[in-house]
Amino acid sequence: MPNIKSAIKRVKTSEISKAQNIQVKSATRTAVKNAETAITANNANANETLVTAIKKLDKAASKGLIHKNAAARKKSRLTKKLNSLNA
């Protein structure tokens, strides 16, 4: 445990940000999973879930939680699945 006041504060803030990062990453994974299930089930709201997943991926990539290329790859694969079913 740190003794210096600034180090103690840094530990607290890093714990808070870690908890928030975990929450955002979990919500992103859930949104991607919901989009995949909606697309494979060919639901009417597949477009809406895809838009939500893309928004969450972009937000996570902009915060640095996932790599921007990983976000782009996931968005591309989801969009490709949706377009192949609609074609």
Residue 53: closest CA among 68, 42, 38: 38
Domains of the chain (ranges; CATH) run: 5-86 (1.20.58.110)
pTM for the model stands at: 0.86
- Confirm if 57 and 74 have CB atoms less than 8 A apart: yes
Query: What gap in Å lies between CA 25 and CA 59, rounded to an integer?
Result: 10
CB 53 within 8 A of CB 35: yes
pLDDT digits (tens, 9 = 90+) for 45-68: 999 999 999 999 999 999 999 999
Number of other CB atoms surrounding residue 25 within 10 Å: 15
Average pLDDT over every residue of 13-21: 97
